[in-house]
Amino acid sequence: MKVIVAIKQVPSRDSRLRVDGSGRWIDPTDLTAEINEPDAYALEEALQWKEKHGGEVVVLCAGPAGATQTIRDALAKGADRALHIEEENLTAYDSLRLAELLAAAIRAEQPDLVLTGLQSDDLGYGQTGVILAELLGMPHGTIIMQTEKTAAGIRVKRELEDGWFQFVELPLPALLTIQSGINKLRYSTLMGIKKAKSKEIKALTPAALGVTPGGAAPLEKLYAPQRGKQSRLIEGDARKQAAELVEILKHEVRAI
pTM: 0.84
In a domain, 221, yes or no: no
Domain count, the chain: 1
In a domain, 65, yes or no: yes
pLDDT at 220: 85
pLDDT at 146: 96
In a domain, 105, yes or no: yes
Other CB atoms within a 10 A radius of the CB of residue 205 amount to 12
CATH number at residue 106: 3.40.50.620
Task: Residue 36: give the domain boundaries.
Answer: 2-209
Cα 201 to its chain centre, rounded Å, is 20
Q: How far is CA 94 from CA 41, 89, 90, 131, 249, in A?
A: 24, 11, 8, 11, 34
Q: Which of 12, 13, 49 is nearest to 32 (CA)?
A: 12
Give 10-residue mean pLDDT values along the chain (256 residues).
Answer: 96 85 83 93 97 96 94 97 94 92 96 96 90 97 96 95 93 97 94 96 96 86 80 88 90 81
In a domain, 235, yes or no: no
In a domain, 240, yes or no: no
pLDDT at 132: 97
pLDDT at 24: 83
Q: Is 155 within 8 Å of 167 (Cβ atoms)?
A: yes
pLDDT at 22: 86
In a domain, 19, yes or no: yes
In a domain, 161, yes or no: yes
In a domain, 131, yes or no: yes
Which residues, 6 or more positions from 123, have their beta carbon under 8 angstroms from its beta carbon? Answer: none
